[in-house]
Structure 1
C-alpha cells in the first residue's frame, strides 16, 4: 500500500483570486521554496482556455503545504493578493455547514487577509472570504473552520464586537435550503387571500363573500 495515499489530500492547496495571466510556471516559482511539488494546475475554460482565476497545487508533504499556506497567503502575484486554502475535495464536507460562520456589517476596509488574521486565533481555517464586487467589499463574508468547536468559539467571542469601529454580527452560516425553510414557515402564518374575477352577484355584497368563504374553515 502506498503510505502517502491517505495524506495526499492534506498536501493539496487551492489558490484563488488569481490574475488571469498567472501561469503554472509563475506558481511553481512562487511555491517551490516551500517544498517539493508534485503538480500544479491552473483551471481554465474548456473552450477559450482562459484562466478561471484559481489553481490547485499538490505538495509531496503536508508540512510543506501548511508552510506555504501560513507564509504566503495573500501575497501579491501580478498585483493581486492570492487566497490560499486547503483543498476540500469532499463536497459533503463543504456542504455540511459544520464549522461555517457568517459575518456581516463589516467595515469596507476589512479584506480577506484582515478577516483571516482576525478569526485564525480561534482555530484552523479551511476557507475565508470577504464577498466583494467591482466597487469593493459588500460588508459581509464567510469563514469555514476545521471544527464546529472553533466556529462556536468565534461566534461567542466576536458577535457584537467592534471591528474597525463597526459592530459586527457573527453567527452560524445557514444554507439556502435552511433559509427557504425558515421563510416558508413564516409564510405559512400569512392568512390573507386575494380574489379577483368574481361575478356581479358577489360584487354587490360583502355579506355574500363572507358566506362563501366562511364555510371553508368549517369544512377544513
Structure 2
C-alpha cells in the first residue's frame, strides 16, 4: 500500500509513532539542518551575488533570492548546503554581519509546518504563563488574611523553585510564584503559607536577608483596597502633623497685629 495512488493521492503507510516520539525525531532532524534562511540583504542582490557571498563555506545545492511580481529582490532568500557542518558554520559566522551597510540575519530555514508548530509552542507557553500569573493574582485576592507574603527586590536568577526553597524552612508553602514578563523576572513575587503564624515567622526571618545578590523586602501581601486605605491614612496623619506644627507660629502673634513679609536685603560692593 505504501506509495500507491488513492483518489489521485499518494498513500504513505508506516509504523505508528506517538506524538512524543515524533517530536523527538523531528527535533533531531531539525538539529541536522542544511538549508539556511537569509534576509535583510537589500534589493540589489541576485542569485549569483548571494551564491558568491555564501559559496565559500561549502558545497551549495541551491541558492535562491526570492523576488516579487516585478522580478525585484524581496530582500531575503535561501541557501541549501550539502553538509550540515557547513550550514552551521554560516550561521555562526554570517549572522549579524554587516554587508553594504545592512546587518544580515542568517538562521535555520524552517518548513511551514515546523514554523507553525514552533509558533504554536511559543503561544502555548505564553498562554500557560498568563494562566499561572492570573492564578497567582487570584490567590492574592482570595487568600486567607495573614498567610500570603509579598516579596520584592528579587535577583534575576531566582525562579519559582528557588523562591519556594528559600522560604520553605518556615512552614508549609501552598504556592510560590515569581512574576515574569514573558521569560524575564519582574523582580517580585508571592509566597503563600498554610497559616498566619508561619507567614509571620517568614517575614521576621527573611525581610532584609540577602538572597543571591540582593536584600529581600518581605511583607504581608495586601489587597489593593487595604493598601489604598493605609496610604490614605498615612497621608491624613502627615497633613494633621503639618497643621499642628504651623499653629503655634500663627497664634504667637496677638490679634490686631499683622505680620509683614520679610524683606530681602541686597548688598552690593564696588570693585575698583
Q: TM-score range by the shorter chain?
A: 0.3 to 0.5
The structure where helix makes up a greater share of residues is 2
- Please, what TM-score do these two structures have when normalized by structure 2? 0.36
- Please, what TM-score do these two structures have when normalized by structure 1? 0.44
Work out which of the two has the higher radius of gyration on C-alpha atoms and give 1 or 2.
2
